[in-house]
Structure 1
Amino acid sequence: MSDTLEILLTNDDGIDSPGIRVLYDALSALANVTVVAPADDRSAVGRSISHEVDVVEHELGYAVEGTPSDCVVAGLGALGPFPDLVVSGCNRGANLGEYVLGRSGTISAAVEAAFFDVPAIATSLYVPAGDLALADVEVGPDHYAEATRATTFLVEHALDAGVFEEAAYLNVNVPVPDESANGDAPAPLEITRPSKRYEMDASHEGDRVVLHDRVWDEMDAETLPDPPGTDRRAVVEGRVSVSPLTAPHTTHHHDALDALVATYPEAVPEL
């Protein structure tokens, strides 16, 4: 590693979002930060790739007319110095649970980095919305203070601590600062696993099918069904969730599949 830490910073909310600005300002105090981020909001696009994208210079770095995965490939392959670390975020809205790992653009940027053997941190802000839509909740730069503090700590220490010898990336979810609970003290970090809850359904309404994500309907700490040790439980109870994850996914040996494959030559007709 060079004497100066090199960071590629990206997101999926777009290069003009406040979440990436606060991280840029904080991380620039301890590293050389190159921003390569979508020109506009590309939330929930997963690891979609465009193969060819337009790029324009921006005051923070480069705005890419593409997805977060486009940004990581472009940043690592062409636009910036090859980094020691990729940071994705800070996302406006949490990325919690196993089911979002392939859906979130924020996390997908970290996964893309992992395929380059570059460690990564994806950071998201849990925004309690109550009965409102997330888009209707006002979130300003001050709301990202806890997320900035936690991410800066991990950026500064995780590499030297050997964290990425085991984890390909960290999925970090941070509650909005609660001054009444902690004052100026940091919310505690908790090592978590992604929740297994999945509550998608759909309704047929005229000429449309409307998809519903009902996981977010139960986010009260007293009634939350997610068990201790999960990312959702930690964040709802006011702790910073840090899930160490791997990419690509691990393949396991299965005796049942071996036995099934062995029957194939006798079980299917000849062409």
Structure 2
Amino acid sequence: MSVERILLTNDDGIDAVGLHALYERLSENYEVTTVAPVEDRSAVGRVLSGTVDIAEHELGYAIEGTPADCVVAGLGTLVPEVDVVVSGCNKGANLGAYTLGRSGTVSAAVEAAFFGVPAIAASLYIPGDEDWWKRELSHAEFAHVTDAVEFLIERATTAGVFETVDYLNVNGPPAESDRRAPMRITDPSPIYDLGAERDGDRIELHDRIWGRMFDGEVPDPVGVDRRAVLDGEVSVSPLSITPPSEPNGTLETLLAEYEPDA
């Protein structure tokens, strides 16, 4: 398939620098319409609002809703004839299997896949410490990710990648020079290290993965998404909305023993 029209969305909000970096790059060769949240709606997953307000924006449309709202509104009525949906570029990585259902960025790509539209979720890993989210970013720092997304739109669509894959989850490090970062096909990391601590009437939730990332000490091997970005590579995870289930003889035997009422 050839790509002419792109729906661009995100979960950081329509004025986020990462979205503008992607819009600037993709609009050079494609007809890009943005349908994105008015404000930051990070980590909302695939929450739907039911009814949302809409306003015209210089890049397309601003929606008082979630990333999933934006994709449904976009593909359902605003710009139904698009070839690809791109979500991002998120400020902060979306790495690991445990983030896929939580991330608004990834969830927008999943929503597009249910419409049968190829999708790419794109995120920028920001090294540093727990205050990484306060960092002001330039368009240039998103270059590794925008380069990768542009390449995948042009080549993965024509090569038939999306005949067997529903969406691609792309994560990359910030660009520090004009030299392109290599890309690597990866699996989402299975490591999960969240915990909780109670202090009286409060419970604080901790995602200890980030501490490991900042220290560069994740145990993930080559071929896993977290390892790729720490090695200066762009991680590309090919994913499906309905992964095939493996035959389970134990469950089959168990269900055969169930006796329904006559």
Letter in structure 1 aligned against 2:210: W
4+ runs deviating over 6 angstroms = none
Q: d(CA) in 1 for partners of 2:89 and 2:232?
A: 18
Q: Tell me the SS of whatever aligns to 2:35.
A: strand
Residues 81-90 or 230-239, more deviating: 81-90
- Following the alignment from structure 2 to structure 1, what is the Cα–Cα distance between the partners of residues 208 and 83? 38
1:146 is paired with a residue of what secondary structure? helix
Within the candidate set 200, 213, 216, 2:210 is matched to 216
Q: Name 1:106's counterpart in structure 2.
A: 105
The yes-or-no answer on 1:136 pairing with 2:130 is: no
Is the alpha carbon distance of 1:191 and 1:212 closer, same or farther for their aligned partners in structure 2, counting shifts above 3 Å? same
> Where do 1:190-269 residues align within 5 Å?
190-219=184-213, 223-265=217-259
Q: Distance in 2 between matches of 1:220 and 1:68?
A: 28
Match in the other structure for 1:52: 51
CA contact (8 A) 1:221 1:237 kept: no
Instruction: Give the alignment of 1:7-156 within 5 angstroms.
Output: 7-130=6-129, 132-156=130-154
Give the Cα–Cα distance (whole angstroms) in 2 for the partners of residues 48 and 251 of structure 1: 25
Partner of 1:152, secondary structure, is helix
1:65-121 deviation per Cα after TM superposition (whole angstroms, max 9, x unaligned): 111000000000111142110000000000001000101000000000110110000
Query: 1:21 is aligned with what amino acid?
Result: H
Deviation of residue 260 (structure 1)?
A: 1.2
Distance 2:36 2:172 in 1: 21
Does the CA-based 8 Å contact 1:221-1:236 persist in structure 2? Answer: no
Q: Is the 8 A contact 1:201 1:212 kept in 2?
A: yes
Give the 3 Å change call, closer, same or farther, for CA 84–228 of structure 1 in structure 2. Answer: same
Paired residue type of 1:212: H
Q: What's the secondary structure of 2:213's corresponding residue?
A: coil
Structure 2 length-normalised TM: 0.95
Distance (Å, rounded) in 2 between the aligned partners of 1:74 and 1:135: 29
CA contact (8 A) 2:168 2:238 kept: yes
What do you get for the CA RMSD once the two structures are aligned?
Answer: 1.7
Aligned partners of 2:92 and 2:124 also within 8 Å: yes
Measured in 2, the distance between the counterparts of 1:221 and 1:201 equals 19
Aligned residues with identical type, % of pairs: 56
Equivalent residue for 1:173?
171
In 1, distance between residues paired with 2:75 and 2:244?
25
TM-score, scaled to structure 1: 0.92
- Residues 116-140 of structure 1, C-alpha deviations (whole Å, 9 max, x = no match): 110000000000122x323222322
8 Å contact kept, 2:141–2:176: no
Q: Distance in 1 between matches of 2:8 and 2:173?
A: 21
Partners of 1:138 and 1:153 lie apart in 2 by 26
> Structure 2, unaligned stretches of length 5 or more?
none
CA distance in 1, matches of 2:211, 2:133: 16
Does structure 1 retain, via aligned residues, the 8 Å contact 2:128–2:214?
no
Provide the secondary structure at the position in 2 that maps to 1:251. coil
Residue 171 of structure 1 aligns to a residue in which SS?
strand
Distance in structure 1 (CA, Å) of the matches to 2:139 and 2:128: 17
- State the distance in 1 between where 2:221 and 2:251 align: 31
Name whichever of 18-27 and 252-261 sits farther off: 252-261
Give ranges in structure 1 of 5+ residues lacking alignment: none
